[in-house]
Structure 1
Amino acid sequence: MSNKRLNSLQELQLLEIMCNYFQEQTKDSVRQIIFSSLFSPQGNKADDSRMALLGKLVSMAVAVCRVPVLECAAFWLQCVLPKHVCSDDLIPPSDLLELIVSWIFEDPRLILITFLNTPIAANLPIGFLELTPLTGLIRWCVKAPLAYKRKKKASLSNGHAPSKIAKDSAPPEDKDCHQLYSKLHLSVLQVLMMLQGHLTEKNLYGRLGLVPFDHVVPLVEEINRLSDELNPLNASREIELALDRLAQALQVAMASGALLCTRDDLRTVCSRLPHNK
Structure 2
Amino acid sequence: MSFSDLKHSLRKYDFPACAKEALIKIEMLLVGRAAPTNKQLDVAMDIISEFVFCETDRRGNRRGLNPLQELQLIDIICDYISACTNETTKNTIFLSLFGSMESQRKLKILSILASMAVSASSTPVLLAVGVWLQQMGSSSPQSLQLVENVIRDHFYLNTSNQTALKVLAKTAPQFVSNFITAVTELYMHDLQRVKKMPPKNLLEIITAWVYSNPTLCMSAQLNPASLPNGSIPMGAVTPLAGLIHWCALAPLYIDEDTEIEELPIKRIKLEDEKLPIIKSVPSKSFTEAELYVKLHLGVLHSLRAGRRTHGPPTAVNAQHLAALTPLVQNYAHQLLKCGVKLQNDTKLQDCLDRMGQSVQVALANGCVYGNISNLLAALDTLPENRLLRIIIKCHQQSI
TM-score (norm 1): 0.65
* Matched AA of 2:292: Y
Indicate whether 1:132 and 2:238 are aligned.
yes
Residue of structure 2 aligned with 1:193, choices 279, 290, 304: 304
* Matched AA of 1:99: I
* Matched AA of 2:355: L
Partners of 2:154 and 2:202 in 1: CA distance: 9
Residue of structure 1 aligned with 2:148, choices 21, 41, 46: 41
Indicate whether 1:23 and 2:82 are aligned.
yes
Deviates more, 1:264-273 or 1:90-99: 264-273
Deviations 1:195-233 (A, max 9, x none): 22xx11xx22xx234211111222111111122234544
Q: 1:84 aligns to what SS in structure 2?
A: coil
Whether the aligned pair in 1 keeps the contact of 2:178 and 2:237 (CA below 8 Å) is no
Partners of 1:75 and 1:194 in 2: CA distance: 17
Indicate whether 1:82 and 2:191 are aligned.
no
Offset, 1:50: 7.1
Distance 1:118 1:53, change over 3 A: farther
Distance 1:265 1:48, change over 3 A: closer
How large is the Cα RMSD of the aligned pairs? 3.9
Indicate whether 1:113 and 2:219 are aligned.
yes
Name the structure 2 match of 1:247: 356
Partners of 1:35 and 1:74 in 2: CA distance: 18
Whether the aligned pair in 2 keeps the contact of 1:104 and 1:184 (CA below 8 Å) is yes
Deviations 1:66-91 (A, max 9, x none): x4xx4333321223x12333642142
Deviations 1:212-270 (A, max 9, x none): 11112221111111222345449711111100100010011111111146775444222
Name the structure 1 match of 2:378: 269
Name the structure 2 match of 1:220: 325
* Number of residue pairs the alignment of both structures matches: 225
- Structure in which a larger fraction of residues adopt helix: 1
Distance 1:255 1:114, change over 3 A: same
Q: 1:92 aligns to what SS in structure 2?
A: coil
Between Structure 1 and Structure 2, whose CA radius of gyration is higher? 2
Deviations 1:115-174 (A, max 9, x none): 11127xxxxxxxx834310000000000110111xxx3xxxxxxxxxxxxxxxx744459
Name the structure 1 match of 2:395: none
Distance 1:31 1:57, change over 3 A: farther
Whether the aligned pair in 2 keeps the contact of 1:189 and 1:249 (CA below 8 Å) is yes
Name the structure 2 match of 1:165: none
Whether the aligned pair in 2 keeps the contact of 1:138 and 1:185 (CA below 8 Å) is yes
Distance 1:194 1:45, change over 3 A: closer
Whether the aligned pair in 1 keeps the contact of 2:156 and 2:199 (CA below 8 Å) is no
Name the structure 2 match of 1:257: 366
Distance 1:18 1:48, change over 3 A: farther
* Matched AA of 1:187: G
Q: 1:40 aligns to what SS in structure 2?
A: helix
- Unaligned 5+ runs, structure 1: 1-16, 120-127, 153-168
Partners of 1:61 and 1:171 in 2: CA distance: 27
Partners of 2:148 and 2:293 in 1: CA distance: 23
User: Greater relative contact order (Cα 8 A, min sep 6): structure 1 or 2?
Assistant: 1
Deviates more, 1:105-114 or 1:134-143: 105-114
Whether the aligned pair in 2 keeps the contact of 1:91 and 1:140 (CA below 8 Å) is no
| Percentage identity across paired residues of the two chains | 23
Deviations 1:93-124 (A, max 9, x none): 111101111122122222111111127xxxxx
